[in-house]
Amino acid sequence: MYCVACRRSTSLPGARYCVHCGAPLDAPLWSGESAALMGQIPAAPAGEQVACPRCGKANARDHAHCAFCGVRLEGARPALVVDDAARDRARELAAEARESLAEGRLQRVEEQCLEALRADPGSAEAHALLAEVYWSKGSLGGALHEMTEAVRLAPENREWEKRLRDLREEQDRAVAPILRELREPTARPIRRSRPPAARPAWKAPQLPSWAPGVALVVGLMLLLAVGRSLPLLGASLRGLMSGVGLLIGVLAAIFVYYDARGRGMALPVALLWGAIILLAGPMGLVALLVYLLITRARQ
């Protein structure tokens, strides 16, 4: 992984701290890190190990800082000097790894690249091939780290530079939804009180224009019929006819009340007209006629 503090690379998979300066590594995590934290990363050769005084994990002797906790290693020594034989061996291993990659043998490519980097940590081709292995395994963070190191070691290689840009764009697309959620938390819906619903204006029931006239004619006929037949009827029939007259008066009073309200009259005025018609008895029909003449004459 690439250290932004000292601008050098830590080639140990899963390292959390730079082995050169001890700064935390901010590169994306990848699948090999969990194994590193469990102490499952293959250790350096026995003669090249130094135990961390804080966490006790083994580090290569050329590490200045522990890759797992960042503490300074007292037994560290300067980086190994790579001779020509080691560089040749690294080039051979990188060539073999390229052939293995063409055959799809990812595990073999990874082993050859790691061996080449142990021989020559500055092998840019080994870093580039290892980046393709990690990318094929779904480790975008590991691929970015290795390809960044390859471009740093061989800045003139345009193919690797383009591949690094593609990997960074892929990383941006992968983390964009997460960053968007962190920067723009979901806003809680604001509860707003609704204004009271407007009640529809009161509207009186509409009757046909001929209804009042028919009611008046029928009422007068009933009144005349009742007046002529009352002396001839018995007490029970007279009571029945009185009830019918009262019912007609109530209906007429209700009609006048709603009609008056529908014409915009005040509530007391509408009640007064209804009371006059209801309490006028046989003369209620006359009062109804007067009301109809007054209200219809205004139209």
Would residue 247 be called left, alpha or beta, if left means φ above 0 and alpha means ψ between -120 and 50 degrees? alpha
**166 and 277 both lie in a single domain:** no
What are 104-108's contacts with CB under 8 Å, separation 24+? Answer: 106/133, 106/136, 106/137
77-111 per-position pLDDT tens digit: 445 567 788 889 989 999 999 999 898 899 999 99
My answer on whether 103 and 243 are in the same domain is no
Tell me, what's the pLDDT at 108?
92
Looking at the structure, tell me whether residues 177 and 249 fall in a common domain.
no
Q: Confidence class of residue 43 from pLDDT cuts 50, 70 and 90?
A: very low
Non-local (6+) Cβ contacts of 137 within 8 A are 31, 106
Q: Residue range 64-79: average pLDDT?
A: 68
Range of the domain at 122: 31-181
- Confidence tier at 44 by pLDDT (50, 70, 90): very low
Does the structure show a pLDDT above 80 at 157? yes
Q: How many CB atoms lie within 10 A of CB 266?
A: 10
Same domain, 175 and 35: yes
Q: What is the mean pLDDT of the chain?
A: 73
pLDDT tens, 162-194? 999 999 898 888 877 877 777 666 556 666 666
CA dist 77 and 59 (Å) reads 12
H/E element, 112: helix 106-119
CA–CA separation, 1 and 29 (whole Å): 10
CATH number for the domain spanning 148: value is 1.25.40.10
Residue predicted with more confidence, 53 or 219: 53
Residues 166 and 287 placed together within one structural domain of the fold? no
Residue 29 has pLDDT above 50, yes or no: no
| Nearby residues of 277 by Cβ (< 8 Å), 6 or more positions away | 249, 252, 253, 256, 284, 287, 288, 291
**Does the pLDDT value for residue 143 go beyond 50?**
yes
What are the two backbone dihedrals, phi and then psi, of residue 2, each rounded to the nearest 5 degrees?
-95, 130
Q: Cα 31 from chain centroid?
A: 29
Q: State the first-to-last Cα distance of the chain, in angstroms, to the nearest integer.
A: 95
Q: How many domains does the chain have?
A: 2
Q: Which residues pair with 2 in a beta bridge?
A: 9
Weakest mean pLDDT among 66-80, 139-153, 241-255, 266-280: 66-80
pLDDT at 95: 92
Q: Evaluate whether residue 9 is within a structural domain.
A: no
Span 252-277, average pLDDT: 83
More confident residue, 47 or 122: 122
Q: Rounded CA gap, 193 and 175, in Å?
A: 39
> Above 60 in pLDDT, residue 50?
yes
Q: Clarify whether residues 176 and 222 are in a common domain.
A: no
Tell me: do 139 and 215 sit in the same domain: no
Give the residue with greater pLDDT, 63 vs 297: 63
What average pLDDT does this structure show over 32-56? 55
What DSSP letter does each residue of 241-267 carry, written as one string? HHHHHHHHHHHHHHHHHHHHHHTT--H
Using pLDDT thresholds of 50, 70 and 90, give the confidence band for residue 37. very low
